[in-house]
């Protein structure tokens, strides 16, 4: 590990030179149309509120269940797995961090570009090597490059962010079979997708599927996520995590949310309908938009002269911001710099876009 000295002589770790993760802008004050971080525009199941209130009346002076056993049992039941195949964390970011610490420490991790930009940050902290596999404009999985990947762990975001493109189980299985290491399918947006990879867990012991409560469950503020995998993989992750990594209120609220699958499905269906409506509307304007299986659209806007490109996207991003509409712009790559990522909001929010 590289290190350097501060003026007072102590050694600072290599982390000093890293750029930390930059989360999407969280504005202060009212009046913003906030469709920049793929939060759910609708509230969580009413049962979440009740469960948290009940937990508040309990014993917060005691530590929470260190293993979040009730959550593991409920998620296992939902997905047809054993509780030993599930682990919960403080958001799925916590889970991704555990995976990098356990499997990429002092070796290499692979991920696709563009995909979730936290993976390289987590790898950088661990001083793990990174291998970046670029998509082309089709945003389909680059099978040949992935089959040659020299890494211990590979992260695939499906549906992908920021494009929204979902990968079929057939395509994911092809990658999993060709990769000699752990494949993490980050399913933060799976509840808005046609297919999900959990059924592949029966067949592939090197597969890890991660989920979050921040999107479809409308609980970004609660911080809860989980991973499903072979029990040996979960056992390793359990040895890495903080003892009490999910607090009591979150365990109570998360359990209520998991138990209310009909509410989840109704909200997800509503968001998908709005998403498909706006994709069709923007296509009528001549704007290119990737087919989305998530709760956001990645759209290439055109100006009045019918032109698209980085300056058109940037100008529209600035114009939106001046009008208190927050969307996301990714200027760092030619594959993304002519696009805006717009989270699907409620009807009022979408009418303002
Ligand atoms: N994975 C992806 C692909 C995401 O977009 C996000 C949200 N930014 C996360 C994981 C993290 O979600 P959480 O809020 O559960 O940490």
CA of 28 to the centre of ligand 1 (A): 22
- Concatenating the DSSP letter of every residue in 236-291 gives HHHHHS-TT-S-HHHHHHHHHHHH-HHHHHHHHHHHHHHHHHHHHHHHHTT-EE--
Collapse the DSSP code of 111 into the 3-class scheme (helix H, G, I; strand E, B; otherwise coil) and give the result.
strand
Nearest CA to ligand 1 atom 8: 37
Mutation probe of ligand 1 site: the residue of 188, 196, 210 with most atoms within 8 A of C-beta:
188
C-alpha 298/C-alpha 162 separation (Å) is: 7
Cβ of 116: how many Cβ atoms within 10 Å?
Answer: 21
- On the question of pLDDT at 2 being above 60, the answer is no
Ligand 1 atom having least distance to the Cα of 161: 3
| Residues contacting ligand 1 via CB (< 6 Å) | 91-93, 116, 157, 161, 186, 188, 212, 214, 220, 225
Q: Mutation test of ligand 1: which of 36, 39, 71, 92 has the most ligand atoms closer than 8 Å to its C-beta?
A: 92
Residue 26 CA, ligand 1 centroid: distance in Å: 15
Structure tokens at 253: 């609220």
- Return the pLDDT at 219: 98
Task: Name the residue of 112, 116, 220 to mutate for ligand 1: max ligand atoms within 8 A of Cβ.
Answer: 116
Per-residue pLDDT averaged across 216-238, rounded?
Answer: 98
What is residue 96's predicted lDDT score, i.e. its pLDDT? Answer: 98
Cα distance between residue 137 and residue 141, in whole Å: 11
Would the pLDDT of 23 be above 90?
Answer: no
Question: Using 50, 70 and 90 to split pLDDT, how confident is the model at 4?
Answer: low
How far is it, in rounded angstroms, from Cα 339 to Cα 313?
6
Distance 212 CA to ligand 1 centre (A): 7
Average pLDDT over residues 70-96: 98
Would the CA dihedral through 317, 342, 337, 131 be positive or negative?
Answer: positive
236 closest CA partner among 66, 98, 108, 90 = 98
What's the token pair of residue 259?
Answer: 């138990």
Residue whose structure tokens are 């979440």:
48
Q: Domain 46-260 falls in which CATH fold?
A: 3.40.640
Residue 64's pLDDT is: 97
Residues forming CATH 3.40.640.10 domain(s) in the chain: 46-260
Peptide bond into 39 cis (omega under 30): no
Residue 20: its pLDDT value, please? 83
Over the stretch 117-142, which tens digit does the pLDDT of each residue have?
999 999 999 999 999 999 999 999 99
Q: Output the six-digit token pair for 2.
A: 């590289």
Calpha distance 353→129 (Å, rounded): 41
pLDDT score of 209 more than 50: yes
The rounded Å distance from CA 123 to ligand 1 centre is 16
ipTM reported for the complex surpasses 0.90: yes
Share of the chain above pLDDT 70, in %: 98
Between the CA of 188 and the centroid of ligand 1 the distance, in Å, is 6
Residue 317: pLDDT band with limits 50, 70, 90 = very high
Res. 241 pLDDT band, cuts 50 70 90: very high
The pLDDT tens digits for 281-293 are 999 999 999 999 9
Percentage of residues of the chain with pLDDT beyond 90: 90
CA of 87 to the centre of ligand 1 (A): 16
User: What is the 11 CA–ligand 1 centroid distance (Å)?
Assistant: 33
Say if residue 337's pLDDT is above 50.
Answer: yes
Q: How many angstroms does the Cα of residue 98 sit away from the middle of ligand 1?
A: 14
Q: How confident is the model at residue 115 (pLDDT cuts 50, 70, 90)?
A: very high
Tell me the residue ranges of DSSP E strands in the chain: 4-5, 11-12, 33-34, 86-89, 108-113, 129-134, 153-157, 182-186, 207-212, 225-229, 288-289, 296-300, 325-326, 328-329, 340-343
What is the mean pLDDT of the segment spanning 76-99?
98
Atom index in ligand 1 nearest the CA of residue 225 equals 15
Enter the pTM of the model: 0.96
Question: Which atom of ligand 1 is nearest to 116's Cα?
Answer: 3
Best mutation site among 118, 157, 253 for ligand 1 pocket (most ligand atoms within 8 Å of CB)? 118
Give residue 306 CA to ligand 1 midpoint distance, Å.
34
Average pLDDT, the chain: 95
Backbone dihedral angles phi then psi of residue 194, each to the nearest 5 degrees: -75, -35
* Per-residue pLDDT at 19: 84
Distance 192 CA to ligand 1 centre (A): 14
Coil, strand or helix: which one is 5?
strand
CA distance 102 to 31: 43
- Does the domain spanning 27-37+262-352 belong to CATH 3.20.20.210? no
d(CA 169, CA 100): 24
Measured by CA distance, the residue closest to atom 7 of ligand 1 is 188
DSSP characters over 31-72: --EE-SS---SSPPPHHHHHHHHHHHTS-TTSPPPTT-HHHH
Give the closest residue to 210 by CA, choosing from 256, 153, 158: 158
Q: Within 10 A of 233 (CB to CB), how many other CB atoms are there? A: 22
Residues of the chain with CATH 3.90.1150.10: 27-37+262-352
Per-residue model confidence (pLDDT) at position 5: 57
Instruction: State how far the Cα of 44 lies from the Cα of 217, in Å rounded to an integer.
Output: 6
């Amino acid at each position: 590990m590289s290190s350097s000295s501060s003026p007072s002589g102590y050694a600072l770790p290599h982390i000093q030179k890293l750029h930390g993760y930059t989360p999407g802008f969280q504005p202060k004050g009212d009046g913003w149309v906030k469709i920049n971080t793929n939060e759910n525009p609708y509230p969580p199941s009413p049962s979440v509120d009740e469960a948290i209130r009940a937990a508040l009346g309990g014993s917060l002076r005691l530590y929470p269940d260190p293993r979040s056993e009730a959550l593991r049992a409920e998620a296992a039941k939902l997905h047809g797995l054993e509780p030993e195949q599930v682990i919960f964390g403080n958001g799925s970011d916590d889970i991704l961090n555990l995976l990098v610490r356990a499997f990429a420490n002092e070796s290499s991790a692979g991920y696709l570009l563009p995909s979730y930009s936290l993976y390289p940050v987590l790898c950088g902290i661990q001083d793990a090597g990174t291998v970046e596999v670029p998509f082309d404009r089709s945003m389909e999985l680059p099978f040949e490059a992935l089959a040659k990947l020299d890494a211990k762990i590979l992260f695939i975001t499906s549906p992908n962010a920021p494009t929204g493109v979902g990968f079929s189980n057939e395509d994911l299985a092809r990658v999993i079979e060709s990769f000699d290491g752990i494949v993490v399918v980050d399913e933060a947006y799976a509840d808005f997708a046609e297919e999900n990879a959990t059924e592949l867990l029966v067949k592939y012991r090197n597969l890890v599927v991660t989920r979050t409560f921040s999107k479809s469950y409308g609980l970004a503020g609660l911080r809860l996520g989980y991973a499903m995998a072979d029990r040996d993989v979960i056992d390793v992750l359990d040895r890495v995590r903080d003892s009490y990594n999910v607090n009591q209120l979150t365990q109570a609220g998360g359990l209520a949310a998991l138990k209310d699958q009909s509410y989840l499905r109704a909200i997800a269906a509503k968001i998908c309908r709005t998403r498909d409506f706006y994709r069709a509307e923007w296509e009528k304007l001549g704007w290119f938009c990737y087919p989305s299986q998530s709760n956001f659209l990645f759209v290439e806007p055109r100006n009045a002269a019918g032109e698209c490109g980085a300056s058109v996207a940037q100008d529209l991003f600035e114009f939106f911001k001046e009008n208190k509409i927050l969307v996301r712009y990714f200027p760092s790559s030619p594959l993304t710099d002519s696009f805006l990522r717009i989270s699907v909001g409620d009807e009022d929010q979408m009418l303002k876009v």
